[in-house]
Amino acid sequence: MDRQHQMALYRRYLDRCNQHWFDELGEFVAENVGGSTEGLANHIAGCHEVVSAFSDYRWSLQHIVLEGAWLAARLWGDGTHTGTFRGLPPTGRKIRIQELVQYRFAHGKEAECWGDLHTTVRNQLLSA
C-alpha cells in the first residue's frame, strides 16, 4: 500500500471513530488484528467502552509518521466523563489526553494496533 492510500485509509478510520460508527471498522481493521487488544470484536468493544463513558469523545490527529507498513500517530482525545469508565464513576469532568498509537498495515487493513488510550484516560481521571 502506498503512503497516500495508507494516510487516506487512516483518516477515514478516524472519521468513523469520531462519528462513533465503530461497527463499520471492519472496513479498516483486520478480523484478527493484534496488539493492545486481540481481534476486531475486542477492538470495537474498546472503542464502545470509551464513548459509553465519554459520549462526546473525539480524536484529533496532531502528527503522523509513515514508515513502510507502519503508521505512528499522535492524537488529542477530548471528552466529558458522563459514564463509568474502568470502574470509575462519572465525574462530569472534561478531559484532554494525548494518545500515542502505532499501526501495522497488511492487505489494506490494520493488522496490529499498539496504543495507550485506556491507560492514559484512566490515569487522567485518577489525577484530579
Which residue bears the cell 507502519? 70
pLDDT tier, 78 (very low <50, low <70, confident <90, very high otherwise) = very high
Query: What distances in angstroms separate CA 100 from CA 77, 97, 124, one per listed residue?
Result: 10, 10, 15
pLDDT tier, 125 (very low <50, low <70, confident <90, very high otherwise) = confident
pLDDT tier, 14 (very low <50, low <70, confident <90, very high otherwise) = very high
Average pLDDT over residues 74-103: 94
Query: What distances in angstroms separate CA 55 from CA 28, 38, 106, one per listed residue?
Result: 23, 24, 31
Query: With 0-12 CB in 10 A as exposed, 13-18 as middle and 19+ as buried, what is 52?
Result: middle
Percent of the chain scored above 90 by pLDDT?
83
Q: Would the pLDDT of 63 be above 90?
A: yes
Torsion (CA) 64, 12, 16, 23 in degrees, nearest 10: -110
